[in-house]
Amino acid sequence: MEPGSRIITTWFPAERKRIGELRRWARTVVPLFGLGLDDRQRGDVLDDVELVPSELGTNAVLHGCGGDQPDVKLTASLAYAPGVLRVSVTDPGGGRPECRAASSEATCGRGLRLVMGVVSRFGVESLPGGGKEIWSAIELPDRVRPAAVLAARIGVAP
């Protein structure tokens, strides 16, 4: 990780009913990175940061685990590096996610398309012990900088 980077990780049981908790976790983690967000930016970034782990987590439960598996623990991470938030979810499955077309009436199949609409990069990495990490990068607005970086630039201690 590059200087100024930070990562926060949690685990969650592989159950669809836990996805709401994952969304709330993501929303509470972002302020810990000390980003200098104005109100509009904060709302936009938090909306995206809730959406991405929610959709990746749902896919991990449904496809990586084959459905609810309360004894299986999945991990989710949020990482900050200058200019970007990286969101990742791991699952034990070996398959690769696929973006597929979903009809307007479909109740599933839209998650990855939603994610792709808000992220700048997306990838899948195989894990050494099996399973995979699905990651995505959310670009931050140019004006967003951690408070410590802003303070250093103007010569004020944080």
pLDDT at 157 over 80: no
Instruction: Examine the pLDDT at 45 and tell me if it is beyond 60.
Output: yes
Confidence check: pLDDT of 95 > 70: yes
**Given this model, what pLDDT does residue 103 score?**
59
pTM (2 d.p.): 0.80
Judge whether residue 107 has pLDDT over 70. Answer: no
In percent, how much of the chain has pLDDT > 70? 80
pLDDT given for residue 156 in this prediction:
52
Q: Is the pLDDT of residue 40 over 90?
A: no
pLDDT at position 144 over 60: no
Rg (CA), the chain: 16
AA identity, residue 18: R
**Which domains can be identified in the chain, with CATH numbers?**
6-154 (3.30.565.10)
Between residues 126 and 157, the one the model is more confident about: 126
Predicted confidence band at 114 (pLDDT cuts at 50, 70, 90)?
confident
